[in-house]
Structure 1
Amino acid sequence: MRREEDWISERRGGETELPGWFWRLIFLPGYIRRLLLLLSLFLSSLLYFSLRWLLSNWSELSVEEILYHLKAPMQGASSGLLRSYLLFALLPSLLLLLLFLLFFRRCRNFFLFYFVRRILFLFPLLFLLLSIRDSWQGIGLRDFLVSQFTHSDFIDRNYVDPRSVELRFPEKKRNLIYIYMESTEMSFSDEAHGGAFPMNCIPELTELAEENEDFSGGDGKLNGAYSMPGSTWTMGAIFAMSSGLPLKISIDKNAMDSQKSFFPGVQTLGDILKEEGYEQSFLLGSVGYFGGRRLYFQSHGDYAVKDYSYWKRQGKFRPDYWVNWGFEDEKLYSYAKEELSRLSRDGRPFNLTLLTVDTHFPDGYVCRLCRREFGKNQYANVFACASRQLADFVNWAKAQPWYENTTIVVTGDHPTMDHDFCKDVPKSYVRRVYTAYINAPIAPARRERREYSSFDDFPTTLASLGVEIEGERLGLGTNLYSDQPTLMEKFGRDYEREELKKRSELMLRLGQIDKAAAFESRAAKDKEEREKERREKERKKKEKRESRRESGASQAGGGGEKEGE
């Protein structure tokens, strides 16, 4: 029988010589080929089961969101979410791999073994094709691929740089309390109030919007902001509402955590208020660096970021305390009251920004304040609880001496990603985030229902502080208190959405992305975090040893005194 090496040598000597690596691949030892096939089987099945898990948990999912969270620092993520992924995505892939491994070991003497070995390479291909099929429409893969090769000048033509606009603040500057409510939509109200549900999950929020301003024109049905592409997850929404721009960058979205600054070419709400002498704080019940939030707020406005780690250092709860994404909103509102009391004593105008977390999918977090108004529908119960807590906080603020000169903005950050909770919402229903402007010193020039997006919150927030805006536009946003049309009203929601999916040269320039830093090893970041934890543990051990030493010395001293007596 001819040796494989002789056959390769003969083939190489022919007129149609193929690269050497090709023949080396063909004639790899059998066990290496099987190992590569099993590895490709595992990875392709993991891709498929991961996609099925995403589609079964997230609604309105997009490729941008997936890329964003794939690159996100996972420290600080919900443990329940991670357990769900391990159970429904990673475990099936491992079981499938184990099944084939057992097959190879146990069935070597059967004809079936040789048949399966010949067609094994088809399984990875099958999983890959199924993944493409599910993602083509399920997460908009087709639109995403098209958008990556299609440029649009929509942002370039319609962006208004705040630096080019005259902003006139009132002589006595108003304070601002800005509350981002996780995954909160106006849709969660009942149909009679413009919601999509038969019951009202957010009655207190509904009343707040009706008594204040949501730009519904007083027609009795709630109104809210539409989340455009680039603003459908928390960091994207925060960026959109405070800069008037979608979070579109040339690297995977959460790699922003690797940058030294966050869109340094953009002037945001925080930058403007800082220039006007505002003292600014950002409070949240999760870890600040998740998603690049700490970087953003410190880069734009020099906010004091007070997150889970900050409050733990203050001794507000046990060092090992952790629920949901950090700590519950009940604590957040309590700490916010303390912070507001401090800020109000400093004599400077202040901006306190909060980010809640109890209503994060899946199903939210049931705290001790939650009731069972909606039986076993946990997410509805959690939203009802969040509605009461927010209303209680606003009522507390109304009783404070500084309230008269303070505007409160309450907005959902993005539509919920919980698939089951919204499964009965008709496809024709346009889901919008909750919006309410409270105690603003201005009334809308147009008493009619407005069509607006998250970008419009940027100039509208400044207007709610009594700021006069030249031209009534900032970023891609329009001041909703003015009579100027929003981009949605001017171009239509569908057209604007499609244009924003495409690449923008202006966004690339404004981002000033350091791509080398973006690919910095995550292992290095993890190592740095582990080193911090190690130093913290050593510090605590040292403090305990010193405490014991002092205690022992004190007892020894006391014993000596007694002997002397």
Structure 2
Amino acid sequence: MSGWILHVLRRVGVVVGRLLAYVLIWAGLALLIAAAGIRFYWGKISVGQMLLNLVSVEIDGGGGAVVWMGILGIGVVPLLITAGVALWQYLRRRERRRNDDDVRPRRSRWILRTASTAVVAAVVVGGSTAFATSVSVGDYIRAANSEYDLGDHYVEPTVTSDEHKRNLVLIYIESGEPHLADDRLFGKEAFAPLEEVSKASDGWQSVDGLQQYQGGGWTMAGLTATQCGVPLKGVGSAAGSGVVNELGGELGTYLGGLACLGDVLDEHGYDNVFLGGANASFAAKDTFLSSHGYSEVKDLADWRAAGEPEENFRSDWGLSDERLMAHARDEIDELHAESERSGRPFNLSLLTLDTHEPVHVFDYCDVDAQNKVTSVFSCSMTQVAGFVDHMKEEGYLEDTAVVIMGDHLAPESFHEQLDGNDDDNDSRSIFNRIWIPGEDGNSTLRPRVDQLNMYPTILEAAGLTLQDHEAGLGVSAFTSEIPDGSAQAMEPGPYAELLNSLSPRFYAKVWVGEDAAR
């Protein structure tokens, strides 16, 4: 009887062991393919970006192609490979039994089992290591152990005067980076159309060397940095808050404890409107905007409802920049006319789409460069330049400030050219142009600030006067004086550690809607 029990236990152990091996093979392959996909599309990312962005893609108008490739690459392919290995092993064992050849020398069996174990271990360790490296798990662990907390340096914006407030147009260029204007690198000056309508000689200003903030690099990070003045961190930092249960757009509020751009403008009588070509629910962008003073958000669903023909959409993201800017012209005409009637200023915020990877070549764009991405950038900038021309022709630039900037650095496909560009020791930076009515453009903005400083800069561009020029962690680029105690007064090393810090106390407050300044 005991022999029978031992036999059963041995058989159960063999079955469990094989199942465990197959599960490990599947997990290792899934992690390895996920790591390869992340590297291919985005390069090295952060845990925060993965949690707040990658898991919230939408099949319709929010990275649909990535969704399907993720389902196939991470879900189906590893399962098929694992099933294939299991089937091969099963047929191999059955063939040996059929040929009465199951008895092998002990040494041969030991070598085979050792080799099999080594292969499984290699797949698991390789996949886990590749994935951990791709999402910067090491940086996340170090950030979790940081002694810094953003709440010690966060400053809620205090408007001391709105006597000179003016209309505001805020345009985000998807992946906008000025090195793309370098024809030595790309064979074409991709930003030439936009640069032509925003010359310094005509009064436009810019921040020399505008930096992507430490830990940023995706659209929502760019939006929250420039409109709230803080790094975007999510579920890990707000652990225990009970508000980030669903990352796919089910949040009641988004960083509700912060006073962001739309909140401040709304408080001072502005009408805030956002136009974008994609599905606004992607990465909970609609929740963020509606949580912070935007009364109207128009996205993919609105353009379809407006009767836009299907050829004006890219299947993975949404409406073309040509048609988005056409709608933007109609929108600003209505907003400006209403502003003149009511006396209420407006903020019109736009986000381009054509240059989101993988780029899509619409019919209105001719590929005339070696890299089609360069041509698409040029075509997109032509559309934005046309919108700026429209504002100029209609006289809107006489009472409307305009801020144009990239949402983050250029995508992975340009890294080979951009990372190797050492001319003039100039590091990579974000494209930006600022128009202030009545300014001559001769004033010099503080150079090499990061995106967090754009929050108070935009508020001051809108004509609001800020106490100490501060908002969030930033100090307006319109001043060279940095207040004592500001995050911007810190040395580069400690400042980088501050931005990387998970700051759980701070983010627990802002995610549940508590005043971050308390």
Same fold (TM over 0.5): yes
Q: Residue 408 of structure 1 aligns to a residue in which SS?
A: strand
- Conserved 8 A contact 1:4-1:27: no
- 1:281-300 matches, within 5 Å, as 281-300=273-292
- Paired letter, 2:366: R
In the alignment, structure 1 residue 79 sits paired with structure 2 residue 64: yes
Q: Which residue of the partner structure matches residue 19 of structure 1?
A: none
Partner of 2:156: 161
Amino acid aligned to 1:388: T
Mark the CA change 1:138 to 1:430 in structure 2 (over 3 Å): closer, same or farther.
farther
1:116 is displaced (CA, Å) by 5.2
Aligned residue in 2 for 1:3: 3
- 1:98-137 aligned at under 5 Å gives the runs 98-108=83-93, 109-110=95-96, 120-135=116-131, 137=133
What secondary structure, in the 3-state scheme, does the structure 2 residue paired with 1:101 have?
helix
Judge conservation of contact 1:451–1:489 (CA < 8 Å) in 2. Answer: no
Code of the aligned partner of 1:169: D
User: What CA deviation, in whole Å up to 9, does each residue of 1:345-403 have, x standing for no partner?
Assistant: 223211111111111112x111122122213x111111111111111110011111433
CA change 1:288–1:393 in 2 (3 A) is same
Distance 1:279 1:150 in 2: 40
- Alpha-carbon distance between aligned partners in 2 of 1:479 and 1:149, rounded to the nearest angstrom: 30
CA distance in 2, matches of 1:135, 1:43: 11
Structure 2 CA distance for partners of 1:303 and 1:492, relative to 1, 3 Å: farther
Residue 440 of structure 2 corresponds to residue 455 of structure 1:
no
The 3-state SS of whatever aligns with 1:433 is: coil
Asked if the contact 1:456/1:480 (under 8 Å) is kept, the reply is yes
Q: Which amino acid aligns with 1:325?
A: W
**2:342 aligned with 1:350, yes or no?**
no
State the alpha-carbon separation in 2 of the partners of residues 320 and 330 from structure 1: 9
Q: CA deviation at 1:451?
A: 1.7
Distance 1:471 1:329, change over 3 A: same
Residue 418 of structure 2 corresponds to which residue in structure 1? 425
Q: Secondary structure at the match of 1:257?
A: coil
SS at match of 2:39: helix
Letter in 1 for 2:43: S
The 1:4/1:224 distance shift into structure 2, 3 A limit, reads farther
The residue that corresponds to 2:99 in the other structure is none
Correspondences of 1:256-295 after superposition (within 5 Å): 257-295=249-287
Q: How does 1:472-487 map to 2 (within 5 A)?
A: 472-485=469-482
Matches within 5 A, 1:402-417: 402-416=396-410
Q: Structure 1 residues 321 and 460, CA, compared in 2 at 3 Å: closer, same or farther?
A: closer
1:488-503 equivalences under 5 Å are 490-503=489-502
Could you report, residue by residue, the CA deviation over 1:238-270 in whole angstroms, capped at 9, with x for unpaired residues? 011001111123448872733211122110110
User: How far did residue 169 of structure 1 move?
Assistant: 1.1
Equivalences for residues 117-516 of structure 1 within 5 A: 120-135=116-131, 137-153=133-149, 155-162=150-157, 165-171=158-164, 173-190=165-182, 199-208=188-197, 210-211=199-200, 212-216=203-207, 223-251=208-236, 255=247, 257-317=249-309, 323-347=315-339, 348-362=344-358, 364-375=359-370, 377-416=371-410, 418-426=411-419, 430-442=427-439, 447=444, 450-485=447-482, 490-513=489-512
Distance in 2, Cα, partners of 1:107 & 1:113:
14
Instruction: Give the residue type in structure 2 aligned to 1:168.
Output: S
Are 1:277 and 1:349, in contact at CA under 8 Å, matched by a contact in 2?
yes
| Residue of structure 2 equivalent to 1:524 | none
1:40-51 equivalence runs, <5 A: 40-51=24-35
Indicate conservation of the 8 Å contact 2:175/2:355, yes or no: yes
Name the structure 2 match of 1:559: none
Measure the CA separation in 1 of the matches of 2:311 and 2:356: 23
Inter-partner Cα distance in structure 2 for 1:74 and 1:448: 39
**Is the Cα–Cα contact under 8 Å of residues 31 and 131 in structure 2 kept in the other structure?**
no
Kindly indicate whether the alpha-carbon contact (under 8 Å) linking 2:180 and 2:191 is maintained by their aligned counterparts in 1: yes
Find the aligned partners of 1:201 and 1:319 in 2 and give their Cα distance. 24
* Alpha-carbon distance, 1:449 to partner: 5.7
Q: Report Cα offsets for 1:158-201 as digits up to 9, x if no partner.
A: 21112xx2331125x31111111111112212178xxx656422
Q: Aligned partners of 2:176, 2:398: CA distance in 1, in Å?
A: 27
Percent of paired sites with the same residue: 24
User: 1: distance between equivalents of 2:271 and 2:109?
Assistant: 71
Q: Is the CA contact (8 Å cut-off) linking 1:282 and 1:306 kept in structure 2?
A: yes
Quote the Cα distance in structure 2 between the aligned partners of 1:204 and 1:64: 35
Equivalent residue letter for 1:380: T
Q: 1:70 to 1:56 in 2, by over 3 A?
A: closer
Question: What amino acid is aligned across from residue 123 of structure 2 in structure 1?
Answer: F
Deviations 1:272-315 (A, max 9, x none): 11111111111111111110111011111043111111222233
CA distance in 1 between counterparts of 2:347 and 2:109 reads 69
Q: Which residue of 2 aligns with 1:62?
A: 46
Aligned residues: 482
CA distance in 2, matches of 1:320, 1:481: 39
2:293 is paired with a residue whose SS is: coil
Could you tell me how far apart the structure 1 residues matched to 2:252 and 2:232 are?
17
Stretches of structure 2 lacking an aligned partner (at least 5 in a row): 97-103, 238-243, 514-518
Instruction: Tell me if structure 1 keeps the 8 A contact 2:474–2:488.
Output: no
Contact preservation (8 Å) 1:63, 1:141: yes
Deviations 1:203-259 (A, max 9, x none): 12334554254545xxxxxx3421224532111110110011111234488727332
Q: Deviations over 1:517-551 (max 9, x none)?
A: xxxxxxxxxxxxxxxxxxxxxxxxxxxxxxxxxxx
Question: How far did residue 456 of structure 1 move?
Answer: 1.0
Question: Structure 1 residues 97 and 166, CA, compared in 2 at 3 Å: closer, same or farther?
Answer: same
In the alignment, the residues of structure 2 paired with residue 463 and residue 312 of structure 1 have an alpha-carbon distance, to the nearest angstrom, of: 36
When normalised by structure 1's length, the TM-score is 0.77
Q: 1:240 & 1:448 partners in 2: Cα distance?
A: 19
- Residue of structure 2 in register with 1:557 after alignment: none
Give 1:120 shift. Answer: 4.3
User: For residues 431 and 188 of structure 1, what CA distance do their matches in structure 2 show?
Assistant: 10
* 1:255 counterpart SS class: coil
Is the contact made by 2:275 and 2:328 (CA closer than 8 Å) also made in structure 1? yes
Summarize the Cα distance change of 1:59–1:485 in structure 2 as closer, same or farther, 3 Å threshold.
Answer: farther
Name the Cα RMSD after superposition. Answer: 3.2
Distance, in Å, in 2 between the alignment partners of 1:295 and 1:456 is 23
- Residues 488 and 383 of structure 1: CA distance in aligned 2, closer, same or farther (over 3 Å): farther
Runs of at least 5 residues in structure 1 that lack an aligned partner in the other structure: 9-23, 217-222, 515-565
The separation in 2 between residues aligned to 1:334 and 1:227, in whole angstroms, is: 29
Partner of 2:101: none
Contact 1:152 1:504 (8 Å CA) reproduced: yes
Deviation at 1:405, TM superposition (A): 0.6
Question: Higher RCO, 1 or 2 (CA under 8 Å, sep at least 6)?
Answer: 2
- State the distance in 1 between where 2:491 and 2:437 align: 28
